[in-house]
């Protein structure tokens, strides 16, 4: 489970088997089952296929410049 820094909302795997790890400051999600379902309170569930995935923090542009999306 990964908790949002600002709102406290959580991204979590509701179906399938997966593991979140951190290496050298980078987050990785390893999905062991054929598919996993990532859920969050504010958007639709996302199906993730088996594999080793790098987790990126989404950014958006505002007139003041780039900022990380508050989740």
The domain ranges of the chain are 2-68
Distance CA 12, CA 38 (A): 6
Mean local confidence (pLDDT), 21-38? 93
Residue indicated by tokens 């569930």: 45
Share the mean pLDDT of the chain.
82
pLDDT at 35 over 60: yes
Read out DSSP for 17-57?
Answer: -EEEEEETTEEEEEEEEEEEEEEETTEEEEEEEEEEEEE--
Distance CA 19, CA 52 (A): 9
Mean local confidence (pLDDT), 43-58? 89
pLDDT band at 9 (very low <50, low <70, confident <90, very high): low
């Amino acid at each position: 489970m990964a908790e949002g820094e600002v709102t406290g909302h959580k991204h979590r795997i509701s179906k399938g088997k997966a593991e979140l790890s951190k290496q050298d400051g980078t987050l990785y999600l390893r999905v062991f089952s054929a598919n996993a379902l990532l859920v969050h309170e504010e958007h639709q569930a996302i199906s993730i296929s088996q594999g080793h995935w790098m987790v990126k923090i989404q950014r958006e542009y505002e007139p003041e410049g780039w900022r990380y999306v508050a989740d």
